Amino acid sequence: MKREPFFWITISCGLVIMAFILLPLIEMMTAPSLSMLKETIKDKDVVRSIWLSIYTAGLAALISFVLGTPLAYLLARRDFMGKRLVEGIIDLPIVIPHPVVGIAILSVAGKNHWIGHLLSELGIRVMGSVTGIVIVLTFVGMPFYLNAAKNGFENISPRLEKVSRSLGASMFSTFFRITFPLAWRSMLIGIIMCCARAISEFGAVVIVAYHPMIAPVLIYERFEAYGLKYSQPVAVWLVSICLVLFLILRILTLRKTREA
Amino acid sequence: MIRVEDLNISLPGFDLSNINLSIEENEFFILMGPTGAGKTVLLEAIAGLVPIKSGKILIGEKDITRLPPEKRGISIVYQDYALFPHLTVLENITYGLHFHRIDKAQAEKRLNRLLEVVNLSHLKERLPVNLSGGEKQRVALARALMVEPKVLLLDEPLSALDPNFREEVRNALKRLHQSSNTTFLMVTHDFVEVLSLAGRAAVMNKGHIEQTGHVKEIFEKPASPFVADFVGMKNLFKASFSGTHAMVLGVRIEIGRTVDPSSQYLAVRPEDIVISRNKFSSSMRNNYSGIITQIDNQGFYYEITVQIKDVSFKGLITKGALIELGLEEGIPVYVSFKASAVHTF
């Protein structure tokens, strides 16, 4: 059968895009030699920064999960005045340039602002601290969790909750017995997306906290000071560890679903 | 048993006004009405799932107007089943027991009885996704009744089902009603369901109740033109009454009784109308000659429209009768009906 030219155009564009995404990544991943990778992972600074990246991103996702779930539920279930506005505000961190996010956070957390003043009274330091990093990562990651969780809730018929209530379940029981078991997969996808976004953040973090160094900042520093060759192995380790973590999470949850 | 007093609900773009209903214990009560009449909203208000503006809802002597849904003892079954997709049939049915303290042996007994009545024992371990529509709705019914609610609300429970499953679930409904003390309140617009299940019924239109009464009464003596039209009174005319007869556009119709002077309409059910080729000699008081203007195939029946002066009467006859009488559009026929078949309101 003779294919139309249109078909060949779609295929060629697809191949160009695949190559565009994969070539640089593969090139980077295969550039460092094994001995170099080994040496890099023995470097205490590298291990510390990758670990810091992972656990601050994890914390950001946890905070998004705890604070964001109720709001996501509210947005999925109720119509109210200004709902569009709230949804727009939630998406703001996605569209704001990253360094601007850092500057915006510092303008609230700085000594000149009453919140910053209050925080420093309480002994909480934002500038150049893990706290600061977590705040920034939560800021940029939260929208991804909120939107995924909201979609998950929207896909559950409110009638299931109504039936549950009529059978004697309180709103809390209904949420934990019906809504959560049906929505948790969307919530988990939200958590993974939030984490992924947080781990990749550089511009906002570098303004709030150059030290302690998260992995992207360390990669940038090595690139600036020693060049491409020395930044590549750290990048490879960061990407590999993140991929493995997400993969494990997905496999674990897939297995659980099959049991249920 | 359940009383709704002066209930008013205001939703965006929709209002329920002055709803009054009184349903006896263990009654099978049906709420009829066209789409958008507010039937589902009324059910959800009774269940506590829709905020109300004013009015009262009582079960027995207990005012439940301000109670949350979980404290009312009212179960609800929806048209789309609303089964919990992550739970098995058994887990669905016993879901309500998590929130009701009842003896284990008693629960077991109740479960087995219900499974038997709805005929689901062999499907206990299945997930809802693997059930047919009829099976799903029977699970929903069992789940709703497992907590022995005082009232069971059914929102068009049969209308999403294929016709062959419809009968199966309708029979299950009947058995469940007979074998429990629960009061059933069901929304439908299927007259077969109304006639085979209900004792009393109400007709709703545009957010208010038009008529409440025994099913027979609603079908035979509609209280308003809307109800008459809704229950299939095709021959509905504005009339002027005097003594024991009425005039409809120059046609004199005998009623055989004096009529409430506030009446403005009269109606005759199409199935009460006799159509014949020769003048029909019988005790029927109303006899007219007219011309057939239309014949409509309605499946089991044919609807015949006969023009008498300026009035169009509609009658129903079987296909056999249509052929035997040799009826065609444009031919003259006689139309007869009893004075007692004339309804006035």
CATH code of residue B107: 3.40.50.300
Integer angstrom CA distances of residue B32 from B11, B103, B152, B252:
21, 38, 16, 33
Q: Are residues B200 and B74 in the same domain?
A: yes
CB proximity A164 to B under 8 Å: yes
Q: Are residues B280 and B138 in the same domain?
A: no
What's chain B's average pLDDT?
A: 90
Structure tokens at B2: 């359940």
- The alpha carbon of residue B301 is apart from the nearest alpha carbon of chain A, in Å, by 39
**Can you tell me which residue has the tokens 């109304």?**
B194
CB proximity B148 to A under 8 Å: no
CB proximity A31 to B under 8 Å: no
CB proximity A259 to B under 8 Å: no
Q: Are residues B121 and B185 in the same domain?
A: yes
- The alpha carbon of residue A60 is apart from the nearest alpha carbon of chain B, in Å, by 30
Residue A86 has pLDDT above 60, yes or no: yes
Determine, for residues B100 and A168 on separate chains, whether the beta-carbon distance falls below 8 Å: yes
Quick one: average pLDDT of A229-243? 91
pLDDT, residue B190, reads 80
pLDDT, residue A255, reads 63
Quick one: average pLDDT of B254-264? 81
**Contact by Cβ (8 Å): A68, A149:** yes
pLDDT, residue A252, reads 75
**Contact by Cβ (8 Å): B60, B136:** no
pLDDT, residue B235, reads 85
Integer angstrom CA distances of residue A87 from A93, A144, A185:
12, 12, 22
Determine, for residues A168 and B147 on separate chains, whether the beta-carbon distance falls below 8 Å: yes
- Three-state SS letters, chain B: CEEEEEEEEEECCEEEEEEEEEECCCCEEEEECCCCCCHHHHHHHHHCCCCCCEEEEEECCEECCCCCHHHCCEEEECCCCCCCCCCCHHHHHCHHHHHCCCCHHHHHHHHHHHHHHHCCHHHCCCCHHHCCHHHHHHHHHHHHHHCCCCEEEEECCCCCCCHHHHHHHHHHHHHHHHCCCCEEEEECCCHHHHHHHCCEEEEEECCEEEEEEEHHHHHHCCCCHHHHHHCCCCEEEECEEECCEEEECCEEEECCCCCCCCCCEEEECHHHCEEECCCCCCCCCEEEEEEEEEEEECCCEEEEEEEECCEEEEEEEEHHHHHHHCCCCCCEEEEEECHHHEEEC
pLDDT, residue B162, reads 85
Q: Which of B181, B208, B209, B186 is nearest to B199 (CA)?
A: B186
Q: Are residues B127 and B265 in the same domain?
A: no
**Contact by Cβ (8 Å): B30, B197:** yes
| Lowest-pLDDT range of A202-206, A236-240, B268-272 | B268-272
Quick one: average pLDDT of B31-52? 92
End residue of a domain, out of B195, B225, B255: B225
- Residue A260: pLDDT band (50, 70, 90) is very low
Residue A258 has pLDDT above 60, yes or no: no
Residues 90-119 (B) with a CB less than 8 A from some CB of A? 95-96, 98-100
Structure tokens at A112: 């000149």
The DSSP element (H or E) to which A101 belongs, if any, is helix A98-109
**Contact by Cβ (8 Å): B173, B166:** no
> Which is more confident, A260 or B24?
B24
- What percent of chain B lies above the pLDDT cut of 70? 100
Residue A65 has pLDDT above 80, yes or no: yes
Residue B76 CA from chain centroid, whole number: 17
End residue of a domain, out of B225, B243, B263: B225
| Lowest-pLDDT range of A30-34, A242-246, B292-296 | A242-246
Determine, for residues A159 and B44 on separate chains, whether the beta-carbon distance falls below 8 Å: no
- Segments forming the whole domain that contains residue B286: 233-344
pLDDT, residue B84, reads 97
Determine, for residues B68 and A182 on separate chains, whether the beta-carbon distance falls below 8 Å: no
Q: Which of A191, A193, A192, A196 is nearest to A53 (CA)?
A: A196
Q: Are residues B199 and B246 in the same domain?
A: no
pLDDT, residue A257, reads 56
Which chain A residue has its CA at the smallest distance from B94's CA?
A: A167
* Contacts B68 to A, Cβ<8 Å: 165, 170
What CATH code is carried by the domain that includes residue B252? 2.40.50.100
Determine, for residues B99 and A182 on separate chains, whether the beta-carbon distance falls below 8 Å: no
- Residue B65: pLDDT band (50, 70, 90) is very high
Q: What are phi and psi of B301, to 5 degrees?
A: -125, 165
CB proximity A254 to B under 8 Å: no
Residue B295 has pLDDT above 50, yes or no: yes
Closest CB to B49 among A162, A168, A173: A162
**Can you tell me which residue has the tokens 């469940």?**
B176
Quick one: average pLDDT of B218-237? 85
End residue of a domain, out of B206, B225, B244: B225
Residue B192 has pLDDT above 90, yes or no: no
Residue B249 has pLDDT above 70, yes or no: yes
- The alpha carbon of residue A86 is apart from the nearest alpha carbon of chain B, in Å, by 21
Q: What are phi and psi of B317, to 5 degrees?
A: -140, 160
- The alpha carbon of residue A260 is apart from the nearest alpha carbon of chain B, in Å, by 8
Q: How many CB pairs under 8 A join A and B?
A: 69
Structure tokens at A87: 């949804």
* Contacts B85 to A, Cβ<8 Å: 182
Strand B240-242 to B265-268 pairing: unpaired
Quick one: average pLDDT of A98-106? 94
Residue A125 has pLDDT above 70, yes or no: yes
pLDDT, residue A247, reads 86
CB proximity A159 to B under 8 Å: yes
Q: Are residues B143 and B242 in the same domain?
A: no
What's chain A's average pLDDT?
A: 92
**Contact by Cβ (8 Å): B40, B212:** no
Residue count (chain B): 345
Integer angstrom CA distances of residue B16 from B12, B47, B126, B196:
11, 15, 40, 28
Residue A155 has pLDDT above 80, yes or no: yes
CATH code of the domain occupying A35-259: 1.10.3720.10
Q: Are residues B35 and B159 in the same domain?
A: yes
- What percent of chain B lies above the pLDDT cut of 90? 55
Determine, for residues A164 and B80 on separate chains, whether the beta-carbon distance falls below 8 Å: no
Determine, for residues A169 and B68 on separate chains, whether the beta-carbon distance falls below 8 Å: no
Which chain B residue has its CA at the smallest distance from A181's CA?
A: B86
Q: Are residues B207 and B243 in the same domain?
A: no
Quick one: average pLDDT of B163-189? 89
Question: Cα(B185)–Cα(B192) distance, rounded to whole angstroms?
Answer: 16
- The alpha carbon of residue A116 is apart from the nearest alpha carbon of chain B, in Å, by 43
Residue A218 has pLDDT above 50, yes or no: yes
Question: Cα(A10)–Cα(B65) distance, rounded to whole angstroms?
Answer: 62
Q: Are residues B118 and B22 in the same domain?
A: yes
Residue B278 has pLDDT above 60, yes or no: yes
Q: Are residues B19 and B58 in the same domain?
A: yes
pLDDT, residue A1, reads 66
* Contacts B86 to A, Cβ<8 Å: 181-182, 260
Q: Are residues B271 and B217 in the same domain?
A: no
Residue A75 has pLDDT above 70, yes or no: yes
Total domains in the fold of chain B: 2
Residue A259 has pLDDT above 60, yes or no: no
Q: Are residues B8 and B146 in the same domain?
A: yes
Q: Domain-by-domain residue ranges, chain A?
A: 35-259
